Amino acid sequence: AERVQSTEAPPSSLLSPEEKMEFRFGHKVKAALYGQQHPPDCRRAKYVVAEKHGGSGFGSRVWFYRMCLSKAFQLGRVFLQMYPLGAPQDEHHVEPWTNCTHQDRLQAVAHYGPDAVVQCTWPGDVLLWLASMPTQYAQYGLLWWQSQLVWYLLRPSSEMQALVEENRKYLKRPYAALHIRYHPLKKAESGRRQPFKNYLRMVPPNWTQIFLAADKNISSHTDKYPEYTYTYKQRWIKGSDVLLDILLLASSDRLVFTYSSCFGQMAMHLQLGRDFCHPVHA
């Protein structure tokens, strides 16, 4: 399959009414991703297989999965993630990425030979595949394509969606969601730490409800602005806390984060994957 590197999306005036709907909601590409990842006979499918995942943090791993899923889609193959012993199982709280298994892959190798499997590696595939996209979607731009991929990967399981709904009960709409990075930074990164007031400047006037996802206790900052009601996630299950924060950030009416954060970018991709016209403030 043909692919292209990073592209800029055209002005909306250049898109047909049908393309505008696809640009905004991505219904067709979502169906195409699901269909390719769920072939009728996995024993006769071909695969892009990742034996490891890229990086130790959840954000860097999701970026790796996104790249491998993009590679598989463009090659007309199924993306299958294999987890090393003791590695985090990032599919536990999301909908299955595929209906195919390791045994199906072995059956495919027996049928097709070595051509049945292409590896996906980090950083080996980064230069060629991280910023590539299918030509049939080039008019929508790379951010749109990557948002569709992240939306697919992070579709919450029914149990996780129930947790999201339960936590939403503590929030009144409209609410802004702030992802705050105040962990110890390397000296070279110190300029990325934004004062708390800068986040609040992006909250629309008269909005008082704020969902907070922070990497440390920031009560010393929130106490200075008592006019807002701050809410954190209230209930979660083991291993779900990171994904739950991302889903609650993504379900907000206004998302505020620093773009240097993979965590915030994942929430942004989820919002844009659901509705590419949703306002986001980095």
Residue with tokens 């590896």: 119
More confident residue, 111 or 182: 111
Residue 4 has pLDDT above 90, yes or no: no
- pLDDT tens track for 151-195: 999 999 999 999 999 999 999 999 999 999 876 555 445 456 789
pTM for this structure? 0.90
Contact 50, 68 (CB under 8 A): yes
Residue 28 has pLDDT above 70, yes or no: yes
- If you average pLDDT over every residue of the chain, what do you get? 89
- pLDDT tens track for 118-154: 999 988 999 999 999 999 999 999 999 999 999 999 9
Q: Residue 92: which pLDDT band, with cuts at 50, 70 and 90?
A: confident
Top-tier CATH class for 159-281: alpha beta
Domain boundaries, the chain: 3-155, 159-281
Average confidence (pLDDT) over 20-26: 95
User: At residue 7, what is the residue type?
Assistant: T
